[in-house]
């Protein structure tokens, strides 16, 4: 919740949050860290404003980050795919 408050307070908060989430999710083989990042993403989607939602719903974020995580090439665990 504290992260969501920081994102909502500043003008650049949503962009910085998306950048940090991309960094944690892209090409990361530590699936525990990926699960924690997905949990933060879920919390932010539920509690942050419209500016954050626009950035998350962007095709670039979805295709380059979220779809890449669950691709068979990465062979992620089922729990990551479900999340």
Tokens 């998350």, residue located: 56
Q: Tell me the domains of the chain and their CATH numbers.
A: 1-82 (1.25.40.90)
Q: What is the pTM of this model?
A: 0.86
8: number of CA atoms within 13 Å, CB side? 13
pLDDT digits (tens, 9 = 90+) for 9-22: 989 999 999 999 99
Residue range 23-70, pLDDT digits in tens? 998 877 888 999 999 999 999 999 998 999 999 998 988 988 888 888
Q: Cα separation of 74 and 40, whole Å?
A: 21
């Amino acid at each position: 919740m504290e992260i969501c408050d920081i994102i909502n307070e500043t003008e650049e908060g949503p962009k910085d949050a998306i950048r940090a989430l991309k960094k944690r999710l892209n090409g990361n083989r530590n699936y525990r860290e990926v699960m924690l990042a997905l949990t933060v993403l879920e919390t932010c989607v539920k509690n942050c404003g419209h500016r954050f939602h626009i950035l998350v719903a962007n095709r670039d974020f979805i295709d380059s980050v979220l779809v890449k995580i669950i691709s068979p090439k990465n062979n992620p665990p089922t729990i990551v795919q479900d999340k």
